[in-house]
Chains A and B, each alone.
Chain A
Amino acid sequence: MKRASFIGHVAWTGAGIAYVLGADGIVRAADAASGGFSFVQISDSHIGYMGPANGDARGTLEQTVNAVNALPVQPAFVIHTGDVTHLSKAIEFDDARAILSRLRAPLLALPGEHDVIGAEGPARFAAAFGRKDAAGRGWSSWDQGGIHFVALINVGEGETMGVLGDEQLAWLKADLAARKTDTPIVIFGHVPLFAVAPEWGWTTQDGTKAIALLRRFSSVTVLNGHIHQIIEHRDGAIRFATANATAFPQAAPGTPGAKPGPLAVAPGSLLGVLGYRTVEVDPTVSWQDFSLARA
Chain B
Amino acid sequence: MRALLAAAALAACVPAAAVQAASSPPAVHIRDDAFTPATLTVHAGDTVTFINDDDDAHTVTADDGSWDSDGLNQSESFKHRFTKAGKITYHCTVHPFMHGTVIVKSAP
B55 touches A161 (CB 8 A): no
* Dominant secondary structure at the A interface: loop
A86 touches B57 (CB 8 A): yes
A117 touches B55 (CB 8 A): no
CA distance A87 to B54 in the complex (A): 14
Q: A117 — which chain B residues lie within 8 A by C-beta?
A: 57, 59, 70-71, 93-94
Segment among A9-17, A102-110, A129-137, A255-263 that sits at the interface with chain B? A255-263
Partner of B93, one of A49, A161, A260: A161
- Answer whether A201 and B96 are a contact pair too, CB < 8 Å, given A89-B71, A261-B33: yes
Q: B56 — which chain A residues lie within 8 A by C-beta?
A: 260-262
B68 touches A113 (CB 8 A): no
Q: A121 — which chain B residues lie within 8 A by C-beta?
A: 70-71
* Dominant secondary structure at the B interface: loop
In the complex, A241 has a CB within 8 A of chain B: no
Q: A261 — which chain B residues lie within 8 A by C-beta?
A: 33, 54-56
In the complex, A182 has a CB within 8 A of chain B: no
A161 touches B94 (CB 8 A): yes
CA distance A89 to B76 in the complex (A): 14
Closest to A250 in B: B56
- Answer whether A260 and B33 are a contact pair too, CB < 8 Å, given A86-B57, A113-B93, A118-B59: yes
A 185-204 to B, binary, CB cutoff 8 A, 1 in contact else 0: 00000000000000111000
Closest to A163 in B: B96
Q: B73 — which chain A residues lie within 8 A by C-beta?
A: 48, 50, 86-87
In the complex, A52 has a CB within 8 A of chain B: yes
In the complex, A88 has a CB within 8 A of chain B: yes
A118 touches B96 (CB 8 A): no
B68 touches A52 (CB 8 A): no
CA distance A65 to B31 in the complex (A): 34
A 31-62 to B, binary, CB cutoff 8 A, 1 in contact else 0: 00000000000000000111111000000000
Q: Which 4 pairs between the two chains have the least Cβ-Cβ distance?
A: A87-B71, A118-B70, A261-B56, A117-B71
Which B positions have Cβ atoms within 8 angstroms of A?
32-33, 54-57, 59, 68-74, 93-97
